[in-house]
Homo-oligomer: A and B are copies of this chain.
Amino acid sequence: MNAPNPLPRRQFASDNYAGVIPEVWEALEHARFGHAPAYGDDPWTARASDLLRQFFETDCEVYFVFNGTAANSLALASLCNSYHSVICHALAHVETDECGAPEFFSNGTKVLLADGANGKIDPDSVESIVNRRKDIHYPKPRVLSVTQATEMGTVYQPDELAALCDVAKRHDLRVHLDGARLSNALASLGKAPADVTWRLGIDVLCFGGTKIGMPVGEAVIFFDHDLANEFEYRCKQSGQLASKMRFLSAPWIGLLETNAWLKHAKNANACAAALGKAVESIEGLSLLAPVEANACFVHLPENVAAGLRERGWKFYNFIGSGGARFMCSWDTSMDDVNALIDDLRELTK
C-alpha cells in the first residue's frame, strides 16, 4: 500500500489529530499476536486494570470503552435516571460536543448549564441551579459533571475540586469527572492522582486515552463499587463492549508502565505554556484564559487569524467568541511552537 500522506504539521487544531505514542504502539504490538479470550477476560485487560488501580491507589472498578462520548454518557447514565438532570459547565464537552449523547444514553436526562470563569464551574452556580426548581415538573439534579483539564485549558486546583464535591454532596449529587485530558491536568498539578480524584469525592472518572496518544479507547473508573453495579451490561447493550478487548486495554499498559503518559503530557503542556508566554509578550494579542494544560486560547485579531490560515496553520475558532484555540499534542514539538510564534509576531507587526 502507498500510504496516503498524513497532514503536514503546522497543526494546533486538536490533540485528536495526533497519532499513537511509541510506548502505546509497542504495547499493541505485543497484543496483536496469538489468541486471547474475548470481552475482557484476557491478561492484558487484567494487567491494565491493575495498573490503573495502582495508579489511583485504590481498588476501583475499571472498564474500557471506545471513545470519550460513550465513556461520559455511560458513566452519567449509570448515575441517573431519565427524569434527572446533569449539571455541567456551559462549555463542557458533554453539552457542546456530544450531539446529545448524554440525553440519548440516559433516555432523556436534561443537561443544565452552570457558569464560571475560565471554563471552571462556580460552586455558587451549582447551588443556584439546584435551588431554582424543586418540583416534579422539572428534571431533578442528580449529577455534577466536572471536566479536568477544562475545555478552556485550565486546571482545577484540589481545593476548587473539593469545593465542587462539597456542594454536590450537600445536595445529593454524584460527581462525574470528564478526564478526556486528565493526563495533562495531572502533569500540570504534580499531585498524586488519588489526591485529585476520589479522595476529594469524585465518584466516577472517564480517563481519556485517545487525546494523550492512544489510537482509540478510554477508561471508565468507578471509585464507588456500588455505582458500577451491572455496568458491564450497560456497556454491552450500548455497543461499547469490545470483543477483542486487549486492543483497548493493552495501550494503557504502554501508557502507565513506563509513565509515558506523564512524559508526553508534560511535552504538550510545555508547548502550550511556551506559546502562551509568547502570546502575552506580543502586542495586539492576549490570552483568553490562563494556560494550565495543553491548550492556549488567544484573542486574535481577524487579520492575524486569516494570515495564519493563509500560511497553513490549523486551529479552531473558539466557540462564539472571536478567539482562537491552539491545542498542543503529545508530539507537538517546540519547533512547531516557535514557528507559530514567529508567524504571530510577523502578522501582528
Contacts and interface: CB of A to CB of B under 8 A. Distances in A.
A35 B19 contact: yes
A218 B136 CA distance: 20
Interface string A252-272: 011001100000000000000
State the copy count for this chain. Answer: 4
B5 A43 contact: yes
A216 B237 contact: no
The secondary structure that dominates the A interface is loop
Interface in A18-36: 18-20, 25-28, 30-36
Given A100-B82, A243-B16, A66 B137 contact: no
B7 A34 contact: yes
Interface in A80-103: 81-85, 96-101, 103
Nearest to A5: B43
A214 B199 CA distance: 40
Given A37-B17, A43-B5, A320 B132 contact: yes
A173 to B, nearest CB: 15
6 closest cross-chain pairs (CB), A and B:
A6-B34, A70-B239, A4-B43, A104-B108, A3-B30, A103-B108
8 contacts: A4-B43, A5-B43, A67-B240, A81-B234, A82-B103, A83-B104, A99-B136, A136-B236
